[in-house]
Each structure stands twice: as structure tokens, then as C-alpha cells.
Amino acid sequence: MQLKLAALRSGRAVACGYSHEMPESGDVWHVYPEGGIGLLCRRLAAEVEDGIRLESPVEAIEVDSDRVRAVKVGGVTQPVSAVVSTAPVNVLSKLVRGTDALEPLSRFKYRPMIFVNLQFDLPGLLPETFLWIPESGYPFFRLTEPTRSMPWLAPEGKSLVTADLGCDVGGELWRTSDEDLGTLCLSHVERIFPDVRGKYLGCRVLRTPIAYPVFLKEYEPVRRRFEISTGVDGLTSVGRNGEFAHLLMEDVYWRTLRKMRGLVASVPTLAAA
């Protein structure tokens, strides 16, 4: 009850139940920074900007004696002390050379998704930030109103509701036009919230072939081992795709921070620096 009151008073998605890295309290809430993820990237890059190389596709991660030794980028092999990967694990497994420790990860699957961002001329629609839709008669399984806890994502008096649609790349939904996806989602939102059609302002659509990890029993033992280690010294995988985990940004932050501290402590050349 205290957490619910904190959410109502602050207007934030306090302790929404998805964060696992920090204990629940009124000081823990689901948040994206004003300026988006790009703000975090700019801040992280500020002190190492001279060492950043853009448009440098990684061709291989070279491993010898179960330790990462080099990275091949743009035809050039660069010796390294450590590698931090954010690549999907099934991609990472194809990049590693000199060991088959990550080969089982090549079977791991990710769920393609379509995110339909519905814009409304009203200050709020959903009763809470997240609304799960378990019935199979809806094209989406969840509605999210990020403007409940992050009002700067929409002009004053307006709101944004994101509909999450599972799909297949190249399938019927994937090929449906943005306008028709908006109309489809609106018609089903209207089943839950009558008379909302008159407040609809349009939509923006994002399609991604890699959104959420798909947990299958056939590779669960491998996933559990990967949770502990990549199996290669000096190689760390971070982020939702890199850890093959359902994580909020907050959990990604805390887990990555912990992993980086552990990596620095375990690699002598990094610790010395």
C-alpha cells in the first residue's frame, strides 16, 4: 500500500514489480531519461570519445586457451585484454573463434515484435502504467502508457499508449501498413475503453526482429550456465539481448555495473589501468 501511495503521489511507476536487482522501495521506479537512451550513450562516451570507432563491424572475437585475445574489426586484428558484447547471444556465438564454448547459444531464439505507439488527445487512458491483456481475442498482449510516469514523452494534455504485438518476420502482421496497424489496435483498445476513438491522433510503429528472448526447455541448461559465465575468460555479455534475459533498463544498469567491476578486477591489465 505504501508503494502504491508513493506511485500516486510522485506520478511515477514506483516498484512496478519488474526490477529484481534492487529491493522494492519508494525510491525505486521504472524510468527512461529525458532525452532517451541516447542521453546515457553520450554521457558514457564523453570520457572515451577519442577511442570510439564508428562503422566498425566486428568480424571475429579471437580466443586462445579459453581466454579472449583479439578482435578482428574491418579486416584488422586488434589485441585486447577483454571484450564486452551487447550482441544477441546467437550472433555472439558465430563471432567467437578458437573455442566451441558458445556454440550451443546459436540455437537460442528471440521473439520478433511490433510496437504500435498510439497517440491520444487526453491526459491519461490506462489505470496504471502497464495493462496485461491475457485474452487471445486481442492482437496485443500488453498495453503500456509510459506518459503516466514520464509525462515529457508527450505534449501536455496528450498521452501515448504502446501496444505490444508478437509476430513473425515477413508474416501478415509484419507486412501490415502502419496506418492499418494503428486502426487494428485502436479498434481493440476501444473494446476496453469505449469512446476513445474520438481522441485518437494517429500512431508510430516500430518493427524489430529481435525483441525478447524465447525461453525453451531444450536449451534451459545451457541458458543457466550462460547466466553464470560465457565460458571464456575476459568475454562478458551484457544488456537484454546480450544476457538473453527479460530486463528493465534499471536492471540492465545495475547488472552491467556489477559485471564491469568484476571484469576489471579479474583482468590484471584493466585493474592496473
pLDDT: which is higher, 150 or 59: 59
- Range scoring the smallest mean pLDDT among 185-199, 207-221, 258-272: 258-272
**What is the pLDDT averaged over residues 256-271?**
84
Instruction: Note the pLDDT of residue 271.
Output: 60
Q: Report whether 69 contacts 232 (CB < 8 A).
A: no
pTM above 0.85, yes or no: no
pLDDT of 273 above 60: no
Higher pLDDT residue, 134 or 185? 185
- pLDDT at residue 118, as a whole number: 98
Mean pLDDT of 83-109: 96
The least confident of 55-64, 159-168, 210-219, 253-262 is: 253-262
- Look at residue 38 in the predicted model and tell me its pLDDT: 79
Instruction: Please say whether the beta carbons of 260 and 242 come within 8 A.
Output: no
CATH match of 110-214 with 3.90.660.20: yes
Q: How far apart are CA 257 and CA 38, in angstroms?
A: 18
Residues of the chain with CATH 3.90.660.20: 110-214
What pLDDT does 14 receive?
66
Percentage of residues in the chain having pLDDT higher than 90: 63
* Cβ(101)–Cβ(226) below 8 Å: no
Position 18 scores a pLDDT of: 59
Strands 142-144 and 83-85: unpaired
pLDDT digits (tens, 9 = 90+) for 99-127: 999 999 999 999 999 999 999 999 999 98
Task: Give the pLDDT band (50/70/90) at residue 152.
Answer: confident
Categorize the per-residue pLDDT at 42 as very low, low, confident or very high, splitting at 50, 70 and 90.
Answer: confident
